[in-house]
Amino acid sequence: MPRPTTQSAWLNNTCRRCTCLFSSAVLSTFPPLVTAVLICHPDLTHDMMTGINIEPEAREEIVIRCAWLVNPGEPPRQNIRITIVDGTVAEMCETPADELARVEAVALMPSFVNAHTHLEFSRLTSPLSPPAPFTDWIRSVIQYRSEDPHELHFATDGICSGLRESRQAGVRLIGEITTTETGVRTLQQKLQKSQMSGVSFRESIGFSTEHISTQLNVADRHVRVTPASDTVTDRKYLVRGLSPHAPYSVHPELFEGLVDIARRSSAPVAMHLAETVDEVELLQNQTGRFVNFLQSLNIWDPQTLSPGTAPLRYLEKLAQLDRALAVHGNYFGRDEIEFLSRHPHVAVVYCPRTHTYFGHKSHPWQKLQSAGAVVLLGTDSRASNPDLSVWKELQFVASQKNAAPIWELLPMITTSAAATLGFDKTDFVVKVGNRFQAVSLPCQCDSELHLNATLIRSAEVTEMSL
């Protein structure tokens, strides 16, 4: 915030008890739309040149005036004045008439949740190719990972880079697929430092029976170990879950064993399911590109999958858990949609721009929502997406034909997503009594009639750290 140049301007940046001016260094820490006011302790010594010393007893009050407040599932509110005391929202009201000139042309929203990521690929500057056939893209993923045989840089540098990009894009909670112990430790440490939270879905891969025992042991250790460092001052910032990778990479016995472990430990599970036509063909007929792919790896056994298997069989197992994510669901049919409508604790994670990159047909997300199923959004990874902005995913969805306005879709990246990951959904609403965690974006719009179109076209969000 620039240093005020008039006496009347100074009065907006004073101690409310004594009009002592506080330093420009303090003021400069706040975004332009913020007015900061310090309420100091009466016993503090005052210095008219440098401001006041902020002691533990001092209170810090911040006032924000935004053109629009957009909360999930609520009608947008115009010209809102938000007062924040010591980081907590103390008051929200319409901006008084004599302060309307100070309203900034921005929309304010709660921080976001990205329900599905693979941050280990975050060092990539563009998606891996070719996008089709999908099995060739998987080979590119394997090749990329083989370039770092010890996976130290793959896990540490990728996760650090991905969390940094996610935080800048307004994300405070993330559902991450971790593949190594190094990745789990890195995620744990960096979440704490970045004041974010997340779920570490420990990935399991093993299509042949010889890997089942080892993978189950790894999974069991992951969910059983709950170090004290997973919480900070009673704030849960890391939840441990499991991720049986996909039907074409996880033996049915391994899948069932992982579900059993998750059920006993109340751990959430995320599984890629019905992602491609080739996967559906593999399950139903045991033919197609995935058979050729598995044969090339010398792990294909025609007895592994039962004829006529469908994604529904996997959903039925996931529904035995408290919480589960069916990631992608690009080719869920009528049976799967009907089942998910009756089991809302199994949420579908739609990754819109990844879906487009692979050239899939239209996603059934609107049919799922209309039926009563829970649909969330994720970015997937930079191996199939140009960035990690879950806000851009929401803009992409909101621009589709017959889509609801952004404020009705916002639960897909806030409240609904938080609840599915096992966190308090009310933390992802800007309201009185909550810690202030929000994002802002430019919004030159005077009418709700045009607000949705303005938000769809808007620039990238700015994470607000106060």
Boundary (domain end) residue, out of 387, 403, 419: 403
Q: How does residue 41 score in pLDDT terms, banded at 50, 70 and 90?
A: very low
Same structural domain, 211 and 253: yes
Residue 62 shares a structural domain with residue 190: no
Distance separating alpha carbons of residues 195 and 197, to the nearest angstrom: 7
Whether 48 maps to a domain, the answer reads yes
Contacts of 368 (CB under 8 A, 6+ apart): 329, 332, 337, 340, 341, 348, 375
Instruction: Check if the beta carbon of residue 154 is closer than 8 Å to that of residue 382.
Output: no
Distance CA 378, CA 270 (A): 12
With tokens 């570490």, the residue in question is 200
The answer to whether position 420 is within a domain reads no
Given pLDDT bands bounded at 50, 70 and 90, which one contains residue 158?
very high
For residues 59 and 166, state if they share a domain. Answer: no
Domain with residue 116: its CATH number is 3.20.20.140
Average pLDDT, integer, range 187-200: 93
pTM for the complete prediction? 0.89
| 419 lies in some domain | no
Same domain, 143 and 104: no
Residue 140 in this model has a pLDDT that exceeds 90: yes
The total domain count for the chain is: 2
Same domain, 24 and 77: yes
Residue 31 banded pLDDT, cuts 50, 70, 90: low
Is residue 131 domain-shared with residue 94, that is, in the same domain? no
Residue 437 clears pLDDT 60, i.e. is over it: yes
pLDDT of residue 35: 61
Is residue 445 over pLDDT 80? yes
**Residue 414 in domain:** no
Q: Are residues 87 and 204 in the same domain?
A: no
User: What average pLDDT does the structure give for the chain?
Assistant: 88
Q: Are residues 139 and 244 in the same domain?
A: yes
225 pLDDT tier (thresholds 50, 70, 90) = confident
| pLDDT at res. 155 | 87
The domain of 182 spans: 112-403
Percent above pLDDT 90 for the chain: 80
Q: How many CB atoms lie within 10 A of CB 445?
A: 20
- 42: which DSSP letter? T
- What residues contact 369, with CB distance under 8 A and at least 6 apart? 375
The predicted pLDDT at position 28 comes to 43
Do 350 and 435 sit in the same domain of this protein? Answer: no
